Structure 1
Amino acid sequence: MLTDNLSHVSAFAAVARHGSFRKAGAELGLSTSAISYAIRGLEERLGVNLINRTTRSVALTDAGQRLLERLQPVLHDLGDALEEMNNFRATPTGTLRLNMSHVAARLVVAPLMARFLTAYPDIALEIVEDDSLADIVGLGFDAGIRFQESIPEDMVAVPIGPAQRGLAIATPDYLEGRPPLHHPNDLLDHNCIRHRFPSGRLYKWEFEKDGTRLEIDVKGRVTVSTLERTLQAALDGIGIGFSMEAIVGDLIDQGRLVAVLEDWCPYYPGFMLYYPRQRRTSPALRAFIDMARETTSS
């Protein structure tokens, strides 16, 4: 009976968290029908309706909301207790779910993934690349990786990558015979490759020199949504792109691209791994953080 109650309560909390039977099932590794069965069993056990269901929405009843409020600290303590037991293992275990931008996955996670999995054979790693600012708590992630300015203030943020900088880049052929670039405003005389975020906002290119900060709303015939497409468009000679030095550095060294306005492109803090302040850091997450920081300092 206790096992059934715990599984039913876990299903209820997941549905409440996601507002969806399907997403709750995905988190718990159960079918939608199994989640529905668990909720129905809990409601029959308590003798009250906990969730109002329609074809379009899932909402807690007053009784469901009250139960959730009472359960949250209990579930939190239970999770802490289970994680504490994990500390007694010789090596960390479990699934580590990370949500990050595409560029963070490429520059931070990809270089250390194989070494991390080899060092910790009992850890499964799930990586979701998402350039929108995902709700890592609501979606059940252990942590996220992004630049500091994108991280909510109520999160613990840990630096795990080297300093980075963006660079305006173009091919030598594109630049030949075109207006010179001495100041960021000179970009307005060029065809630039614009970047649109998942939110729909166009990125304004950021520059800084001697305490002066500028945001340039560049113009151009091509707008893309990934750094990969920006890079390819620049290599094709379409115009000037804006990318990460860590991505284009080798191409600059090879002479295939040229960096412009470098004196307006300072370094800034690198990527940060972040997680909820009130959540205990699991051994698996701590192991990942330690390896990422070790890689950064080596």
Structure 2
Amino acid sequence: MRGTEYAELAAFVAVAQERSFRRASARLGLSPSALSHSIRGLEERLGARLLNRTTRSVAPTEAGLRLLERLEPAFVEISGAVEAVNAFSARPSGTVRLNVPRMAAHMVLAPIFGRFARAYPDVHLEVIADDGMVDIVARGFDAGIRLGEHVQRDMVAVRVTQDLRSVVVGSPGYLAAHPAPRTPRELKGHACIGYRMVSSGALYRWEFERRGVVLDVAVEGPLTLDDPDLTVAAALDGVGLAHVIESRVADHLAAGRLVRVLDDWCPSFPGFFLYYPGRRQMPAALRALIDFVQVKGR
């Protein structure tokens, strides 16, 4: 197989998996025009249309799906062979593609960017901050980070944070005008800042637990957001009560800009885990990253 033929097939696999020329271009490090040219060349050489394209979407045709089914296992094997050789290298190299929630990107990865780049100058990290639930294998990622409860059982998971804790907070001004709730059920009488989950589109029901009693409450209020930083900003501005990860508001709590309520109803829960498919040879570059972010113990 000539190099151009392999490149065309790799381009097709990327577009078919990503369902997007833009995302596939970023993944392969090619311009969209070069990627489109490769796909056209492959379709002309095979004499079959492989992708249906509209202004908003890309999807494989029946012929494209059949080709993808045969190519995906082969490309996994090729990647595994390259990774196995890379494991013998004294200096890890190559690209590590990660899909992580925005919160995990800030908590886990941002603090190590500089140190990791200096320690492993031949490793290129590509981080896609995405709060949706993504199939990392189908989308061509090497690994992902998610809360422990959301990691699939067939993945290898490595703890990258200690246990986390959610808290309900409000500004002193808001709580001066609205007596603090004593139980989660009293949230019905409060302005609460809602959170729209990106993965499902559903409104998050605030979760509580105390002495074996578990409650989840559908809250109401004047504002719904899908970004934790905006939620904190709204709470600071006195919009209402917010349900957030404690570490994100620790400084505001210490300074008195926010106040906890319902604290005895807010237990800790397993934090974030980096996960990856266990059936593949681990790339040396991914191993180096795990060594940087792994948390020992709890």
TM normalised by structure 1 equals 0.88
Query: Could you say if the C-alpha distance between residues 90 and 184 of structure 1 is closer, same or farther in structure 2, counting changes exceeding 3 Å?
Result: same
Native 8 Å contact 1:50 1:62 kept in 2: no
Q: 2:50 corresponds to which residue?
A: 51
Q: Deviations over 1:236-285 (max 9, x none)?
A: 22211111111111221222211111111111111011223433321111
Q: Deviations over 1:54-77 (max 9, x none)?
A: 546655455544443333332221
Q: Write the mapping of 1:90-109 to structure 2, written as runs, cut at 5 A.
A: 90-109=90-109
| CA RMSD of superposed structures (Å) | 2.5
Query: Could you say if the C-alpha distance between residues 51 and 291 of structure 1 is closer, same or farther in structure 2, counting changes exceeding 3 Å?
Result: same
Native 8 Å contact 1:99 1:136 kept in 2: yes
2-11 vs 284-293, which moves further: 2-11
Q: Write the mapping of 1:268-279 to structure 2, written as runs, cut at 5 A.
A: 268-279=269-280
Q: 2:213 corresponds to which residue?
A: 212
Q: Residue 179 of structure 2 aligns to which amino acid in structure 1? A: P
Q: Deviations over 1:190-222 (max 9, x none)?
A: 111111122431111111111111101112112
Cα deviation, residue 21, structure 1: 4.5
Cα deviation, residue 161, structure 1: 0.7
Q: 1:237 corresponds to which residue?
A: 238
Taking the aligned partners of 2:37 and 2:250, their CA distance within structure 1 comes to: 55
Taking the aligned partners of 2:132 and 2:150, their CA distance within structure 1 comes to: 10
Native 8 Å contact 1:49 1:61 kept in 2: no
Taking the aligned partners of 1:251 and 1:150, their CA distance within structure 2 comes to: 29
Cα deviation, residue 121, structure 1: 1.2
Q: Write the mapping of 1:41-120 to structure 2, written as runs, cut at 5 A.
A: 41-43=41-43, 45-46=45-46, 48-49=47-48, 51=50, 53-55=52-54, 60=60, 63-120=63-120
Q: Write the mapping of 1:13-32 to structure 2, written as runs, cut at 5 A.
A: 13-32=13-32
Q: 1:284 corresponds to which residue?
A: 285
Taking the aligned partners of 2:252 and 2:19, their CA distance within structure 1 comes to: 46
Q: Deviations over 1:125-151 (max 9, x none)?
A: 222211121232333222111212233
Native 8 Å contact 2:180 2:261 kept in 1: no
Please list every run of 5 or more consecutive structure 1 residues that lacks an aligned counterpart in the other structure. none
85-94 vs 10-19, which moves further: 10-19
Query: Could you say if the C-alpha distance between residues 192 and 37 of structure 1 is closer, same or farther in structure 2, counting changes exceeding 3 Å?
Result: closer
TM normalised by structure 2 equals 0.88
Query: Are residue 255 (structure 1) and residue 256 (structure 2) matched?
Result: yes
Taking the aligned partners of 2:36 and 2:82, their CA distance within structure 1 comes to: 26
Native 8 Å contact 2:84 2:281 kept in 1: no
Query: Could you say if the C-alpha distance between residues 45 and 221 of structure 1 is closer, same or farther in structure 2, counting changes exceeding 3 Å?
Result: closer
Native 8 Å contact 1:107 1:246 kept in 2: no
Taking the aligned partners of 1:157 and 1:121, their CA distance within structure 2 comes to: 26
Q: 1:144 corresponds to which residue?
A: 144
Query: Could you say if the C-alpha distance between residues 82 and 34 of structure 1 is closer, same or farther in structure 2, counting changes exceeding 3 Å?
Result: same
Report the count of equivalent residues: 296
Taking the aligned partners of 1:52 and 1:248, their CA distance within structure 2 comes to: 47
Q: Residue 75 of structure 2 aligns to which amino acid in structure 1? A: L
SS in 2 for 1:103: helix
Please list every run of 5 or more consecutive structure 2 residues that lacks an aligned counterpart in the other structure. none
Q: 2:125 corresponds to which residue?
A: 125
Query: Could you say if the C-alpha distance between residues 44 and 201 of structure 1 is closer, same or farther in structure 2, counting changes exceeding 3 Å?
Result: closer
Cα deviation, residue 42, structure 1: 4.0
Cα deviation, residue 22, structure 1: 4.6
Cα deviation, residue 155, structure 1: 2.8
SS in 1 for 2:292: helix
Cα deviation, residue 81, structure 1: 0.9
Cα deviation, residue 28, structure 1: 1.9
Native 8 Å contact 2:149 2:270 kept in 1: no
Q: 2:201 corresponds to which residue?
A: 200
